[in-house]
Amino acid sequence: MKKSNVIRSAVSAHTKRFGVAPTSTAWAPGRIEVLGNHTDYNEGTVFSAAIDLGHCFCLSPSDTPGIRLLAVDVNKVASFEVKDISKVPGYNWANYVKGSFYFIQERIGKAIDGLDCTFFGSIPMGAGLSSSAALEIAASYAVLHHLDVDLDRKDIAVLARRAEHEFAGTNCGLLDQFSSIFGREHGLIHSDFRTLDVTSVGLPADISFLVVNPHVKHSLSESPYNERRERCEQAAEQLAALLPHPVNALRDVSPEEFKQLREQIDPAAAKRAAHIIGEINRVERGVEYLKQWNIEGFGSLLYASHQSSIEHFENSCAELDIVVEAARHAGAPGARLSGGGFGGSAIVLVYDENADDISAGIMDYCRAKGLNPDILTVTPSSGAAII
């Protein structure tokens, strides 16, 4: 569904349910992680892109205390107050909004109360395109606009991440929120999660991405995501004891140093660290490839990234492996899982002129393996905004 149709549907549903048109409406896109898997919480670098799928969030003031939140797709309304950190029982989707409101309220010292809210989106749930972050950011933008409060965009991302941590139980980094906020039309976002610097890197005009969803539903809060993060922290701590320079995160360990020392640390931690250290190196090599507009070289890094997810981080699955192999078989320059893994979607780098043929080739290959995936073509898009 096009962005304009999503916004129109959300506004219409809000007006019908609450009897008044929304006074504040925001849009926030989902994202694809292009390269740099699980590097954000290791203070590394990541390539990502906001996409032309996202969430619309509407609100209007109400005389009734508390918050009422309509989820259009399931036609249910959750009610809650923002005064405490307790979760909304029975409505997990509402906790992304309550958490965002709670930490904004805490930050600005102004009560968030008496609001009717509505959200609707075009991001397939469980597809690894960060529907949760898009909802958090859209809700944050809408309520800040309503309150006439201006926060730095990086601060908004940090508050939304806290909502993810404390209300959804996923100990994620800032990648998803940064991607939703800092998206660039026809470009990639290069984020440094040590300095929090964000820069844009252009793509050739004839490049797009296929998002291939083999329907492996996933939830990071219920997956081994948190265990992987703990292993990364363990590896950094053990490597710090062996190296002559400070190691605050795996970002501080070079591939050469890791190769020399990996046998001296816990084997399970070393296995996870191999993926992270390799990914950070691949992102920086990717910067150089894109400066030269070397799409074939850049695509090869995507394939290498996915192989590392299989061998080292073990956050892929059989269905995603089939999709990536199908992309290679169809002649795509690059492909890999996107996002946290353990399900979700794969992304495929394509030239526009070949996109239809590659999409058909992927579908044929997958069907021969017993899969019937959905394939979307997405283009890098601009970030969150007030409508």
351 - beta bridge partners? Answer: 207
Separation between Cα atoms, residue 212 and residue 315, nearest integer Å = 17
Burial class (CB in 10 A: 0-12, 13-18, 19+), 90: exposed
User: What does DSSP say about strands 207-216 and 344-351: parallel, antiparallel, or unpaired?
Assistant: antiparallel
Tokens in use for 251? 């970002």
> Is 176 annotated as catalytic?
yes
> Whole-angstrom Cα distance, residue 341 to residue 336?
10
Point out the catalytic residue in the list 52, 116, 176, 321.
Answer: 176
Q: What is the dihedral of CA 370, 376, 378, 384, to 10 degrees?
A: -110
> In this structure, what is the dihedral angle of CA atoms 56, 61, 63, 69, given to the nearest 10 degrees?
10
Q: Is 267 helix (H, G, I), strand (E, B) or coil?
A: helix
> What residue type is 191 in one-letter code?
S
- Which amino acid makes up residue 119? F
Q: Say if strands 374-378 and 67-71 run parallel, antiparallel, or are unpaired.
A: unpaired
Say how far apart CA 49 and CA 101 lie, in whole Å.
25
* CA trace torsion 168, 381, 290, 208 (10° rounding): 100
Diameter over CA atoms, the chain:
66
Pairing of the two strands 76-80 and 67-71: antiparallel
- Catalytic positions are 176
